[in-house]
Structure 1
Amino acid sequence: MGKLKYIELIDKMTLEEKASLMSGKDYWQSQDIEHLGIFSMFLADGPHGIRKQAVSSQQMGLNRGIPATCYPTEATVANSWNEDLGEWVGSYLGKEAVSQKVNVLLGPGLNMKRNPLCGRNFEYFSEDPFLAGKLAAAYVRGIQSQGISACVKHFCAKNQEERSMSIDTIIDERALREIYLTAFEIAVKEGSTKALMSSYNKLNGTYTNENTHIMLDILRGEWDYSGCVITDWGGSNDRVKGLIAGNELEMPSNNGETDRIIVNAVKSGELDEAILDSCVDRLLDLTFTTEKIFDKGHVSFDIEKHHRISQKMAEESIVLLKNDEGILPINFDKKVAVIGDFARDARYQGSGSSRVNPTILDSTLECFDESGIRSVGYAPGFKRYGQCSKKLMKEACDLATKANVVLLYLGLDEATETQGLDRTSMSLPRNQVDLLEQLYSVNKNIVVILSSGAAIEMPWIGMAKGLLHGYLGGQAGARAILRVISGDVNPSGKLAETYPINYIDVPSSTNFPGKEVSVEYRESLFIGYRYFDTNNIDVLFPFGFGLSYTTFEYSNLRVEEDCVLFDVTNSGAYPGMEICQLYIGCESKLIFRPKKELKGFKKIFINPGDTKRVRIPFDDKTFRYFNIKTDSWEIESSNYNVFIGASISDIRLTGSLYVLGTDAPLPYNSVDLPSYFNGRVGNVSSSEFEKLLGYKPPESKWDRKKDLEYNDTLSQCRYARSLLARFAYWCIVFTHWFLKKISRRNEANLIMMSVYNMPFRGIARMTGGSISMGMLDGILLIVNGHFFKGINKFLKERKKNR
């Protein structure tokens, strides 16, 4: 432990005061000690806009926020591949946070898109750690340039929403380092984030915020991180173990219950007070460094200006996926029919904790006049949440017969992509596909405009001449899309994730989500394009793909020891931006790895006929791999292929470079790991996965004979000894079914997120101290068949808690 920065202030504190700083004051604020000049920090959700709830910070839940600019989501901005744009987004988020007196902005989200069905993919950047890390670091620099702190989340390997508060992620060390930690490493080292949020899940048997391997050995040791770690809300399990691992702030408040646990642990010798002092010191540093900005008084922001910035971000992130016969941009002499519920009410953000209350909200229909596109009318065509309506379909088809081109707005609704739930399929709702089929029978000139935050299957794509993907474009996304359709903006976005043809093609499809105790990452390194490209598997749209209204030619590649240089020429008629991508592949087969991996990128603007020289540097991550025998990063001596492409599958230039390595021992025996050495990891056996791990993974199923405990979920009450608990389970199931039946899907989702998948400890951790762990012991006695003993325990502890 190094020298403490605030040692004089800490020496003035009592043990109880130190402990009090380690948990929240209420649902959104840290604790204060006024007589020592320590004030509360306010923490607010904010990956793509500030969600500082309008009600008191003592109230729980996902309450409506104070109006703020809703910028495009991270999944959207990732398609821009523009670090400067990311920093720009961050700076404007930071300005608005300052205007609302928010010290810590809870974002950006940095988990990998291991599987396209993860319900929170709209809030994450990419399936590639290098791209995600670079963009996250840019966000962090932008946010913190305004004097407050970003909080990179969720550390780490949180890649499913179902049972996210208790699932045990089983992953081999190399995949953990190369895929799931690299993005965080970049955000810490290049972004210098002041705060980081630990995730809910276990990692290889230990809750992440208690996991000394990732928290101490890697985060604070290898990466030299000196910032503050904050739990996800309700994400603390064993408070003392969390402090020992360096997880300072527990959120939200628990009415002092864990403070008393900390005090008792110090007095008993279980917790060294020096560890507590270090945690207090880091928390104080976050408090004081983010409080300075508010000394200048209230700072307002220009609502209109920030709205225009949001539009610019959306414009640069829109991806043109198909443009047969040059149907886009729409000529001014064409008459268009606007069809689809999403044209009237734009789908512009995700649901859950990141849901922003926008300051302005553009509507496609209201923006048509300024676009210059001639509309013959609008028809909704389908009901938003999947119900079939022949009447709406007929009205849409009648309108389509009057137009030269149909602009068909399709997508996923708000209740399908949300925190707390994973999607059940990659399909669009059936009623939307049925509408497309009917429209195609009366008008073949259809341009589909998609709104969703994640990859979807498109068996219907042959019926669309044009396909424009806006992802979730924020409050100005509707106008941005129209500017691309009209040709005022040349689309320049490229996909930050792979679109498979079918979900079953995804290597993790057989191991997602973990339904009971654990989820096994048997595919190891081979997620996303790393799997598809290595195995030459056809995909719908490859990683890095995106069309433009112009064309680009690549030439004159030169590979040097520290960089690559090449020329890019705009050979078309439109000015435009091109995203140049650097991939590296090792020729040696002694260590298994993907065929090629992203190691650099550059976005450039070029006028028609002009040529620009592009330089992409190598860095410390270009040739490295993690060696499990030496427990360190190594470089293999080999010839490395250098690929310059417009996407992972559109390679324009190739070269090579011999790199002298570190002569480390080989980490694997290829005979033991045939699936990994040939890259075919879609169906890895349990025995081969065990050899990769180096140990036998835990049983993935619940032991239905044992008593339920703190970290078991309420859904497991179906197996409880208590008839009352089993009845409560079926009440939850019925309530969820009934709410869906009457089309109250948001409330139904909340049941699953906040009740069904909640571990028992969450009842105490998420109720602000209203239910203590002692009262929870009583509840568990009842659940496990000891009704009267449990009632007695609950009432005694309730009296004590009051």
Structure 2
Amino acid sequence: MDRSSQEAAVEAALAELDLPAKAALLGGTDMWSVGPEDARSAAGFGRLVLSDGPAGVRGENWSPEDPSLALPSPTAIGATWDTAAARTAGLLLAQEARRKGAHAVLAPTVNLHRTPYSGRHFEAYSEDPQLTGVLGAALVAALQQGGVAATPKHYVANDAETDRYTVDVRVDGRTLRELYLEPFERIVRTARPWLLMAAYNSVNGVTMSEHDVLNNGVLRGEWGFDGALVSDWTGARSTLGCVRGGLDLAMPGPDTVYGEHLVAAVREGRVAAETVDVQARRVLLLAARVGVLDGAPPAVPATALPAPLDGAAAVRDLATRSFVLLRNEYAGSPVLPLDVGGGAEPSGDAVRRIAVSGLHACAPRFGGGGSSQVFPERVGTPLDALREALPPGIEVSYEPGPDPRSRLAPATEAAGFRLTAVLHGLDDVELARAEQRDGSVRWMGTLPGGVSFADLGRVELVGEFTPRESGTHRLAVRGVGHFRLEAGDRVLYDAELQADSDDPAAAFLNPPQRTFLLDAEADKPLPVRLLHSVPAHGVGGLFGLVSFELGHGAPAVSEQELTERAVRAAAEADCAVVFVGTTDESESEGVDRESLALPGRQDELVARVARVNPRTVVVVNAGAPVLMPWHQEVAAVLLCWFPGEAGGEALADVLLGAAEPGGRLPTTWPSAEDDLPVRQVVPDGDGRLPYVEGPYIGYRAWRRAAGPEPAYWFGHGLGYTRWEYESLNITALDGADGDDPYGPVAQVTVRVRNSGPRAGREVVQLYLGPEGADCRLAAFAVVRAAAGDLAEARLEVPLRAVQTWDDTHLVWRRCPGPHRFAVGRSAADIRLTAELPLWG
């Protein structure tokens, strides 16, 4: 990168801009872009496009008609414990961003898993700041290697969704520094992101878009961040506050706290003109780095971009590396991978009949709800993939079991719907049409046919419904605003749907639903029409978006009968595979979880199947911890997270042994909700959320608590082989006491042997500190070895791992030695220990 040429181009462009033009650069032009609507401004600044993207890059359109590659959820990437996997995810995001015309991706999310009640838990990596920071830095570096700006978010302490716009997080200095700021610091110092997002919430009384101490003092002053700071969408509330707090870019536009408001503040003497220059210079530097500023060489020229990746193969591999095998024992031996034989004379333990049950087997959740959601071209289902991968002669039955969803899914072509969206103007004239893949209408920032939001009066979903079976069907309306639903010659609904929350994003992402009954005959077409009057204000007016759904449910069978069918099939099979998981109502942006229990009657399904078939495998399709009261009653538990679009094929690979489940838990999983050491996500009556637990979250909180142990500890995960830990060698580095908090102070070599029957992958984990709650993860490494072979894990202990924050003197201090090194397979499974003083 030619930094001097970039800086010269930035200064030249800045000199061409007058005050209004500079102020205009500091606010969005529309929902997703900054800069002129035409090709280039007079100063050579092009249109700079941002996109959501923790698990895929959506671009400026958000609809099934503009599909995106769907990656495994960030919790899945966290479960790999693998910087190579995080780099692959970053390269995929960059590749997708370039394809979609985006210059910056709003990722990664590096908030912490303070408590599993957070509704957006699936979008962050881990409960541990070390694991989060290392993986986040790897993804940022790879994304920017692809010429696209990364945007670590949400800075800082945005660890829950309840009242996220107004909540004031109260946290002491040590906790803030050692936990919540730590991943951001590592990423800024080691990966140098070009953009960073300020969170909605306040920290100790100051909203993050205006936080002078954390933005200007810590982020820029201490860590040396030289990129631009962008608000979360609608997170900028005050012109003067944001200017003083170091916010460079207020999104979305065109109505922001900057623009004409900032011009007036300068002309009235309330803001210095030089301050606007500083902010505009940062935005221009961002434009230069991503290649939309004339005369500035991009940070990564086209000739230096990474080689293209096979997206489908890469996301499949990422998924298998993320799957965590929590339990695997049947009659004293592993049940996974399934022994499906292959010849005409199968062994006595070979599986010839498999009973699959659970809705998630044929309707998996590939990603979480909210701004991270994308629409893939296709999603491989575990049921189809398993049937495709099995050798001839293996029988697979399927029973869906009881439906855990309380809301109906969008109407689909498979259910008999053919739908078109028709956009009408304020004068009721038709403006455009868009063919629909299903009954979900979701447009953000742009509308089909180039229609302007200002001209839009109403949207209709029109088409036919040809039922696949006779009976009482269910149709549903989901959204906010006025709706009229017609089916055949009946009006099923004609009224207003009100949002359940004041959070506009929650109203968009998790709107209410109303359900209606419709008697219909198989193969007899019925006209259907859902009319939505677009409000002049509210959700659509605020964000520039339209979102509603026509839902459908087939004639219902009782939950009892559905369970009985699954149990009967399991009783007749050699092996039962039960798929369970969360729904889009329980894991989504905009709302926190009320319970960790699996929704519906899924626990009953598992328990009853396990009673009739001791060789029962449970696959858990969830992005965050769930309760598993049956986990010791089944032969195997396999956690697949939200595995992305290739999750079905990846699961078939792992279940049948073509790949090993390579993941380890990035978060501790409880046995019961009452056991959780940190539970509060709801602010008190004054809008404050005190982090009273201090630095003790996750495994450190569990160690500190006197109650029951968790179901599965941080770092736990089984593979398809066995590992012996043979030796631990530590070398203290002379003179390793400089100012770089991520420079090494010790090198650790751990020798492990694969003592099992097949090649495998191991995650070697190093914990440092005294026994108990203050012992924390210091380093980790992935090793691979063939059966019987030896592997060496080489780890570097950073200076920060042996420091603690002194809240009195506001400095980092070294922890007194000697330092206890503990190496193992999880936070609770320590195999080797040693003590060594790192300083005299």
TM-score of the pair, normalised by structure 2: 0.74
1:548 corresponds to 2:548: no
- TM superposition outliers: structure 1 runs of 4+ over 3 Å: 2-5, 62-65, 254-258, 292-297, 299-303, 510-516, 534-537
1:147-546 alignment runs, 5 A limit: 147-255=147-255, 258-291=258-291, 305-325=310-330, 326-332=334-340, 333-334=350-351, 335-372=353-390, 374-385=394-405, 389-510=559-680, 512=682, 517-535=687-705, 537-546=708-717
Distance apart, 1:150 and its partner CA:
0.7
Consecutive unaligned residues in structure 1, runs of 5 or more: 55-61, 588-592, 662-802
Aligned match of 2:30: 26
Aligned match of 1:114: 114
Distance apart, 1:514 and its partner CA:
5.3
Counterparts of 2:565 and 2:89, CA distance in 1: 41
Aligned match of 2:767: 583
SS of aligned partner of 2:823? strand
Counterparts of 2:764 and 2:264, CA distance in 1: 58
Aligned match of 2:543: none
Counterparts of 1:141 and 1:515, CA distance in 2: 42
Aligned match of 2:439: none
SS of aligned partner of 1:415? coil
SS of aligned partner of 2:825? strand
Distance apart, 1:645 and its partner CA:
0.8
Counterparts of 1:295 and 1:47, CA distance in 2: 24
Counterparts of 1:418 and 1:28, CA distance in 2: 21
Counterparts of 2:700 and 2:56, CA distance in 1: 32
Counterparts of 2:685 and 2:600, CA distance in 1: 26
Counterparts of 1:635 and 1:424, CA distance in 2: 40
2:757 alignment partner AA:
A
Q: Do 1:161 and 1:421's aligned partners in 2 also have CA atoms closer than 8 Å? A: yes
Deviations 1:86-111 (A, max 9, x none): 11110111011111110000101010
1:13 alignment partner AA:
L
1:43-62 alignment runs, 5 A limit: 43-54=50-61
Q: Do 1:364 and 1:478's aligned partners in 2 also have CA atoms closer than 8 Å? A: yes
Distance apart, 1:606 and its partner CA:
0.8
Q: Do 1:637 and 1:659's aligned partners in 2 also have CA atoms closer than 8 Å? A: no
1:637 corresponds to 2:644: no
Counterparts of 1:637 and 1:94, CA distance in 2: 43
For the structure 1 residues 93 and 351, does the alpha-carbon distance in structure 2 shift closer, same or farther, using more than 3 Å as the test?
Answer: same
Q: Do 1:508 and 1:521's aligned partners in 2 also have CA atoms closer than 8 Å? A: no
Which of 563, 567, 573 does residue 747 from structure 2 map onto?
563
Counterparts of 1:601 and 1:286, CA distance in 2: 33
Counterparts of 1:659 and 1:576, CA distance in 2: 34
Q: Do 2:140 and 2:193's aligned partners in 1 also have CA atoms closer than 8 Å? A: yes
Which of 742, 746, 756 does residue 572 from structure 1 map onto?
756
Q: Do 2:782 and 2:793's aligned partners in 1 also have CA atoms closer than 8 Å? A: no
Q: Do 1:451 and 1:469's aligned partners in 2 also have CA atoms closer than 8 Å? A: yes
1:741-760 alignment runs, 5 A limit: none
Deviations 1:259-318 (A, max 9, x none): 122112112222111111011001001012112669969x99979x21111000001010
TM-score of the pair, normalised by structure 1: 0.78
1:310 alignment partner AA:
V
SS of aligned partner of 2:34? coil
SS of aligned partner of 1:560? strand
SS of aligned partner of 1:42? strand
Counterparts of 2:683 and 2:587, CA distance in 1: 15
1:318 alignment partner AA:
F
Q: Do 1:167 and 1:516's aligned partners in 2 also have CA atoms closer than 8 Å? A: no
SS of aligned partner of 1:547? coil
Aligned match of 1:139: 139
Q: Do 1:564 and 1:616's aligned partners in 2 also have CA atoms closer than 8 Å? A: yes
1:328 alignment partner AA:
L
2:338 alignment partner AA:
I
Aligned match of 2:804: 625
Distance apart, 1:560 and its partner CA:
1.4
SS of aligned partner of 1:153? coil
2:41 alignment partner AA:
E
Counterparts of 2:610 and 2:825, CA distance in 1: 32
1:107 alignment partner AA:
A
For the structure 1 residues 285 and 65, does the alpha-carbon distance in structure 2 shift closer, same or farther, using more than 3 Å as the test?
Answer: farther
Counterparts of 1:447 and 1:313, CA distance in 2: 22
Greater RCO, 1 or 2 (C-alpha within 8 Å, sep 6+): 2
Counterparts of 2:264 and 2:186, CA distance in 1: 38
Aligned match of 1:99: 99
Identical positions, percent: 30
Aligned match of 1:9: 13
Distance apart, 1:491 and its partner CA:
1.6
Distance apart, 1:35 and its partner CA:
1.5
SS of aligned partner of 1:600? strand
Deviations 1:105-136 (A, max 9, x none): 01010101101010001100000000001001
For the structure 1 residues 415 and 37, does the alpha-carbon distance in structure 2 shift closer, same or farther, using more than 3 Å as the test?
Answer: same
SS of aligned partner of 2:585? coil
Deviations 1:352-405 (A, max 9, x none): 111111123112222123422623311101113159611211221221122011
Q: Do 1:167 and 1:514's aligned partners in 2 also have CA atoms closer than 8 Å? A: no
The more displaced of 33-42 and 207-216 is 33-42
Counterparts of 1:210 and 1:563, CA distance in 2: 41
Counterparts of 1:245 and 1:386, CA distance in 2: 43
Counterparts of 1:248 and 1:493, CA distance in 2: 39
Distance apart, 1:464 and its partner CA:
1.5
SS of aligned partner of 2:818? strand
Distance apart, 1:254 and its partner CA:
3.8
For the structure 1 residues 171 and 596, does the alpha-carbon distance in structure 2 shift closer, same or farther, using more than 3 Å as the test?
Answer: same
For the structure 1 residues 194 and 618, does the alpha-carbon distance in structure 2 shift closer, same or farther, using more than 3 Å as the test?
Answer: same
1:555 alignment partner AA:
E
Counterparts of 1:380 and 1:67, CA distance in 2: 28
Deviations 1:144-192 (A, max 9, x none): 1111101111000001111101100000011000000000111111221
Deviations 1:69-88 (A, max 9, x none): 10101101111100011111
1:538 alignment partner AA:
E
Distance apart, 1:512 and its partner CA:
4.4
Counterparts of 1:371 and 1:224, CA distance in 2: 52
SS of aligned partner of 1:441? helix
Q: Do 2:325 and 2:638's aligned partners in 1 also have CA atoms closer than 8 Å? A: yes
1:221 alignment partner AA:
G
Distance apart, 1:648 and its partner CA:
0.4
The root-mean-square deviation of aligned C-alpha atoms, in Å, is 2.2
Counterparts of 2:599 and 2:147, CA distance in 1: 44
Aligned match of 1:612: 791
SS of aligned partner of 2:800? coil
For the structure 1 residues 497 and 132, does the alpha-carbon distance in structure 2 shift closer, same or farther, using more than 3 Å as the test?
Answer: same
